[in-house]
């Protein structure tokens, strides 16, 4: 009896529309007779890049263009009345002329006792992207654990080696031999810095608060411009209406600084010519999937540079530790940046070609409770 009451209360809270809007797949409800759209869920609005208001009343070919495959699907559905499932290319009709085709898994089904047809689909590319992101997130976690343990193991004997090298340095009778002990001390110090960089983020106490992402970006911008004062322009396209995000400000500054700093370094030739450009963009997206988790709202930050692009042989691995294309690089900057953003439930992806490299940092709008939950605790 009690369970029944709770259920009734829950059902009263969520309308069928609310439920459809929570679904990860794109859904259109279609009038069986007129074949026009009567409803689009949030995922469909995002996938089609058209609001529900502007979809209602239109027909399938206005949205997906003339498609024999789509006609066949509806024909088959009307003929045998059973649910149809198929992989097909969804094109674009007059309502969204500039958009790309996509390969999708489509399900067409009826609702018993109603005149509505359910047209449901998910983009196969999107599905693969989610699976890939999820894999990378798990891989990054494993890497982080490995690097942290390795750093501890290396750190312990370093102090001893340095002390012994110093003692040896004092004791050596022949000054020309001191050159060797100097090399030992210098190399130990280099390793020490590397190890400290790996361990530092985990030593710091987390400080989570509401913060303005533009303040973070402005700080990053001024730090990078102070280091590279000539030949580089850092332009901003900020959406100033963005709500505040919850996170650790210093950690976010470090993550974004690592990305912008890389871009400024790689732009060396263009800086000398005086036309090096980095663009910082912000916006929001609704109903976003990061890895396998869905979020209602996410912040997008794009860091775009006009440099030579990421070499093809390293682009698939640049977030892995110790992968570097620079002679003096340690290959940790992007590993740490990815880890810092993932601590906020987000993800960094990259697209690159000569003249245009775009790092896309996506951070979901979450709550303090979310960042403190068991999965993220200890990581931030």
The site for ligand ATP (CB under 6 A) is made up of 258, 262-263, 266, 305, 307, 309-310, 318, 323-326, 329-335, 357
Here the tokens at position 369 are 């409770």
Q: Report in angstroms how near the CB of residue 334 gets to Mg ion at its nearest.
A: 6
With CB under 5 to 8 Å by kind, the binding choice for 110 among ligand ATP, Mg ion, none is none
Contacts of 345 (CB under 8 A, 6+ apart): 290, 293, 295, 363, 364, 366, 370, 371, 376
Q: Report in angstroms how near the CB of residue 258 gets to Mg ion at its nearest.
A: 6
- Taking only Cα atoms into account, the Rg of the chain, rounded to an integer number of angstroms, comes to 27
With CB under 5 to 8 Å by kind, the binding choice for 243 among Mg ion, ligand ATP, none is none
Q: Report in angstroms how near the CB of residue 207 gets to ligand ATP at its nearest.
A: 24
Is the Cβ of residue 109 or residue 330 nearer to ligand ATP in the bound state? 330
Here the tokens at position 342 are 């993932």
Here the tokens at position 283 are 């916006």
Segment holding 60, helix H or strand E: helix 60-64
With CB under 5 to 8 Å by kind, the binding choice for 366 among Mg ion, ligand ATP, none is none
With CB under 5 to 8 Å by kind, the binding choice for 326 among Mg ion, ligand ATP, none is ligand ATP
Is the Cβ of residue 131 or residue 322 nearer to ligand ATP in the bound state? 322
Here the tokens at position 292 are 């396998």
Query: Phi, psi (5° rounding) for residue 272?
Result: -65, -30
Here the tokens at position 257 are 């600084």
Q: Report in angstroms how near the CB of residue 259 gets to Mg ion at its nearest.
A: 8
Q: Report in angstroms how near the CB of residue 326 gets to Mg ion at its nearest.
A: 8
The site for Mg ion (CB under 5 A) is made up of 262, 333
Residues paired with residue 117 on neighbouring β-strands, in sequence order? 30, 110
With CB under 5 to 8 Å by kind, the binding choice for 278 among Mg ion, ligand ATP, none is none
Q: Which residue is nearest to Mg ion (CB)?
A: 333
Segment holding 71, helix H or strand E: helix 68-80
Is the Cβ of residue 261 or residue 294 nearer to Mg ion in the bound state? 261
Is the Cβ of residue 333 or residue 346 nearer to Mg ion in the bound state? 333
Is the Cβ of residue 10 or residue 328 nearer to Mg ion in the bound state? 328
Q: Report in angstroms how near the CB of residue 174 gets to ligand ATP at its nearest.
A: 37
Contacts of 171 (CB under 8 A, 6+ apart): none
Is the Cβ of residue 188 or residue 263 nearer to ligand ATP in the bound state? 263
Is the Cβ of residue 86 or residue 323 nearer to Mg ion in the bound state? 323
- What are the E-state strand segments in the chain? 26-31, 37-40, 84-90, 102-110, 116-123, 208-211, 232-237, 245-248, 276-290, 293-305, 347-353, 356-364
- Residue 296: how many CB atoms within 10 A of its CB? 14
- Residue 170 CA, chain-centre distance (Å), reads 52
Q: Report in angstroms how near the CB of residue 331 gets to ligand ATP at its nearest.
A: 4
With CB under 5 to 8 Å by kind, the binding choice for 263 among ligand ATP, Mg ion, none is ligand ATP
């Amino acid at each position: 009896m009690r369970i029944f009451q709770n259920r009734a209360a829950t059902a009263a809270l969520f309308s069928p529309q609310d439920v459809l809007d929570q679904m990860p797949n794109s859904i259109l409800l279609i009038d069986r007779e007129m074949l026009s759209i009567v409803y689009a869920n949030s995922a469909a609005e995002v996938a089609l890049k058209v609001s529900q208001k502007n979809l209602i009343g239109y027909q399938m070919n206005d949205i997906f263009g003339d498609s024999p495959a789509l006609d066949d699907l509806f024909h088959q559905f009307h003929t045998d009345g059973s649910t149809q499932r198929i992989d097909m290319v969804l094109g674009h009709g007059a309502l969204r002329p500039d958009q790309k085709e996509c390969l999708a898994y489509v399900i067409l089904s009826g609702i018993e006792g109603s005149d509505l047809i359910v047209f449901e689909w998910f983009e196969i590319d999107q599905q693969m992207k989610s699976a890939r992101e999820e894999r990378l997130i798990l891989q990054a976690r494993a890497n982080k654990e490995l690097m942290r343990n390795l750093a501890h193991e290396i750190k312990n004997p370093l102090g001893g080696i340095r002390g012994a090298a110093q003692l040896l340095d004092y004791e050596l009778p022949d000054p020309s031999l001191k050159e060797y002990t100097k090399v030992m001390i210098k190399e130990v110090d280099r390793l020490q810095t590397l190890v400290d960089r790996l361990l530092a983020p985990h030593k710091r106490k987390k400080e989570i608060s509401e913060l303005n992402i533009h303040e973070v970006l402005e700080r990053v911008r001024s730090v990078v411009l102070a280091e590279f004062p000539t030949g580089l322009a850092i332009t901003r396209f900020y959406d100033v209406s963005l709500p505040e995000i919850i996170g650790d400000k210093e950690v976010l500054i470090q993550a974004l600084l690592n990305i912008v700093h890389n871009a400024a370094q790689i732009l060396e030739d263009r800086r000398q010519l005086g036309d090096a450009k980095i663009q910082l963009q912000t916006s929001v997206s609704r109903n976003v999937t990061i890895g396998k988790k869905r979020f209602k709202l996410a912040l997008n930050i794009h860091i775009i540079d006009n440099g030579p692009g990421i070499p093809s042989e390293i682009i698939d691995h640049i977030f892995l530790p110790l992968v570097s294309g620079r002679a003096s690089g340690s290959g940790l900057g992007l590993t740490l940046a990815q880890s810092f953003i993932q601590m906020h439930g987000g993800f960094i992806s990259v697209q690159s070609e000569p003249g245009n490299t775009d790092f896309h940092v996506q951070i979901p709008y979450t709550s303090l409770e979310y960042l403190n939950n068991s999965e993220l605790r200890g990581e931030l």
